[in-house]
Amino acid sequence: MTIRANTEPTLDAHAMVAEAERALADIARARESVARVIFGQESVVEQTLVAILAGGHALLVGVPGLAKTKLVETLGTVLGLNARRVQFTPDLMPSDIVGTEVMDQDEGGRRSFRFVRGPVFAQLLMADEINRASPRTQSALLQSMQEYHVTVAGERHDLPAPFHVLATQNPLEQEGTYPLPEAQLDRFLCQVDVHYPSIEAERRILLATTGVAEDKAVAVMTAERLREIQMLVRRMPVPESVVEAILSLVRSARPGQGSSEADTHVAWGPGPRASQAMMTCVRARALYERRLAPSIDDVRALAEPILQHRMALNFAARAEGIGVREVIARLARQAG
């Protein structure tokens, strides 16, 4: 098996394997701690944790009552992150997110401005119902997500590291909302669809959450340890076959690139940022699945969450009742 060379300095092979095995144990403990609180959402937990391990942000899409808020709170506890929540509303202003300057007066009567930090200065920020805020407020948050700092009155203020945004969106309610533009959706590493739980999972929810006491998640790592794992993810070697599968999948989702499926049903496809997202996420998913190297199966498993918000179907596909997930599934089967 050919391994693509990493351009960054790497650890000795034995030391890197030992570090990876430590990361596997830490991630396994994180999975177990989350599972004590979140029932029946294994794929949601997996994709969200993979996004965080890869150092990115995630958009959680699902109807109310599916434990999206509970999941974010639990992840903040388990990963040892300083977590905050913002409920997005139409009257929310950018200063309510990033912060603002206030005027102070000392005992001598001298006045000066002082910057009061907004909730974006957190290691894990939950942007609840992000599509309810105006585009101006959405842009303020999404700029922070991309640049990892805010500028107020000409002065730069760096955000804490690590910094992750988990935004939620209700796919049903459209009145009084401002859908995120495609260029801003592209800043989310992946889109995680949150579905209804199975009957067995819902039975566990009923029994575990309606009594006197509930199980609570416990911290299994610190923010510093999470940063170490995120750096390890970026140092992991990727087999050449997996790199080729990523390129094949992403490029096949673009019209005019020789894919009959894309030429027939896709209006516009994902850019290179999708390939970058896939490259980091396959490594993170390998660790999440207790493996030391990614495989083509990781590429296929992550095709939908990474591509679905980065492409759009044409009129012909919509007229035939074909959905973007169906197109991605066909493309993923051909990858590799």
User: What is the tens place of the pLDDT at every residue in 18-34?
Assistant: 888 899 999 999 999 99
Confidence at residue 10, expressed as pLDDT on a 0 to 100 scale: 47
Q: How far apart are CA 124 and CA 145, in angstroms?
A: 11
Long-range contacts of residues 327-332, Cβ cutoff 8 Å, at least 24 apart: 327/253, 327/261, 327/262, 327/265, 327/266, 328/253, 328/303, 328/304, 329/303, 329/304, 330/261, 331/249, 331/252, 331/253, 331/259, 331/261, 331/262, 331/303, 332/249, 332/299, 332/300, 332/303, 332/304
pLDDT in tens, 239-296: 999 999 999 999 999 998 888 888 899 999 999 999 999 999 999 999 999 998 999 9
Q: How far apart are CA 151 and CA 153, in angstroms?
A: 7
Is residue 173 pLDDT above 80, yes or no?
no
pLDDT in tens, 113-140: 778 888 999 999 999 999 888 888 888 8
Ramachandran class of 40: left when φ > 0, alpha when ψ lies in -120 to 50, beta otherwise: left
Percent of the chain with pLDDT over 90: 50
What pTM value is reported for the model? 0.89
Confidence at residue 7, expressed as pLDDT on a 0 to 100 scale: 46
Mean pLDDT, residues 204-224: 85
pLDDT in tens, 37-87: 888 888 999 999 999 999 999 999 988 888 888 899 999 999 999 999 999
Which residue did the predictor score with more confidence, 95 or 111?
95
pLDDT confidence bin for 201, thresholds 50/70/90: confident
Confidence at residue 336, expressed as pLDDT on a 0 to 100 scale: 63
Mean pLDDT of all residues belonging to the chain: 88
